[in-house]
Amino acid sequence: MGIEPKNRKIGVLGATGRMGRAAHQALMKAEGLEVVALFDLKQEENLIDDLPVSTSLEEFISAGPEVVIDFTVAKASLINLPEIAEAEIHAVVGTSGLTEEDYKSLGGVFDQSACLIVPNFAIGAVLMMKFAEMASPWFQTAEIIEFHHNNKVDAPSGTAIATAEMMASASQEWAEDPTSKETLAGTRGGVAESNIKIHSVRMEGMMAHQEVLLGTTGQSLLIRHDTTDRNAFMPGVVLAAQNIQGTGLTVGLESLLGI
């Protein structure tokens, strides 16, 4: 992609979770990156690949990471990230469930380092969101359906919310929902920006999938992305770890992809 990786020391928060483990493996193999610190309060393991798993954030920070990859939960992120910012360490955040208020709060503390919050690390998903944004001015109606595994605790997904926000910013001319009666409450889904509807599916056999449906007179457009393996997220994690810089808060991989 024309960007030379930098020699950087990396720490992983949530290291014993599924995403944390996958990120650790990918980061260890990446050019110019060295994993020096792991953190997880679950204490499932004391060592991963001969690297200690710390339950002390102070000890984790003392190991000297220059970039921290956060795959914990929203509640933990809001506790840990201000301390990461105080230590002037960059943060790449894959935690879901953070709100706009959380973004404002975190943006205020990262004044000496950067915080990159990524709703979805899959590069195909980022392109899906961009394509939906590009299509929005040409359509009058749109709905988003997101599908995830049955262990995902929050709904809708951060990707679905971010997609709706991008579409709403691209066009304010969306038709009103014609539904006058819901026989079953909630059937028409949740209401996001500009009244764009989001529907969430939680089901065994799913990983992470999203459809954006757009319609106008005489035609419809379906944009879909499927993630079938967590390794799909890893190129985006590595890209962010190699290239995060500056100060303040940014949302999404778009700036690193040049789109």
CB 161, CB 196: distance < 8 Å: no
Q: What's the order of all strands across the beta sheet hosting 67-70?
A: 47-48, 51-54, 33-39, 8-13, 67-70, 90-93, 114-117, 248-251
104 labelled catalytic? no
Question: What is the side-by-side order of every strand in the sheet holding 190-191?
Answer: 190-191, 197-202, 141-148, 208-216, 219-227
Distance of CA 234 to the CA centre of its chain: 12
Is 149 one of the annotated active-site residues of the chain? no
Among the listed residues 6, 9, 130, 152, the single catalytic one is: 152
The kind and range of the H/E element at 214 are strand 208-216
Task: Please name which of 77, 67, 26, 66 lies closest in space to residue 49, comparing C-alpha atoms.
Answer: 26
Q: Which two tokens stand for residue 91?
A: 């943060």
Q: Which of 24, 148, 197, 199 is catalytic?
A: 148
The residues annotated with a catalytic role in the active site are 148, 152
